[in-house]
Amino acid sequence: MSGATDFAEAAQALAEALRAATTDPADSVRVLQSLADFYPSDPTSVSAGGAARSIMQDACGKLFRRAALVSLCRAARKYQPWSADDALSLRDTVCDLLDAEILSAGDDGDDATFNALRALRAAVVRDLTQRGANLAQLETVLGPSVLPAPVIAQRLYRDSSRSEELVVQADPKHPAFMPVSFQALSR
């Protein structure tokens, strides 16, 4: 095995270790999203060594981002969206990151990576669109005044036991004083 192969495998192992270190897929998505958007700073030297360092940094940045993207897509597959809007938001976030790398691979003439990333993007779109299709949409809840969460849950869903769900959505200072306007599941 060459040093370059070992380095690439180590980058992939790091991304997978980060994904495995988080028990909640939402945390995995958050951590890997940050790594998938990593761009090294440009070297300041204009010498021949600085140019070589720039090429190496660019290649390492691509390697780290792409390894993180693969792990991010795996985390997105395990993530359970709580609404159709949540699924679409995650889909758009992952696809934006994938699109940037697809463009980079295309600009570099790296056809194999370009095609692999496009196939991965298609799989993410298909998966999150299908899983989000059967989930409730978010809607804006407008109340006449500040009310307790159980009262709003009873009015919206005819089920006061869903008040905790509204509290999580609205994040009020206290559940007895829900905001007059906030986002909640439509059903």
| Tens of pLDDT, residues 156-180 | 899 899 999 899 888 899 999 999 9
107 in the same domain as 26:
yes
142 in the same domain as 91:
no
Domain finish residue from 98, 113, 133: 133
Domain finish residue from 92, 111, 133: 133
How many domains is the chain built from? 2
The pLDDT of residue 44 is 65
Evaluate whether 83 touches 185 at the Cβ level (below 8 Å): yes
- Domain carrying residue 10: 3-133
169 in the same domain as 119:
no
Q: What are phi and psi of 176, to 5 degrees?
A: -80, -10
The pLDDT of residue 43 is 65
Q: What is the pLDDT of residues 58-109, one digit of tens each?
A: 889 999 999 999 999 999 999 999 999 999 999 999 999 999 999 999 999 9
101 in the same domain as 44:
yes
92 in the same domain as 16:
yes
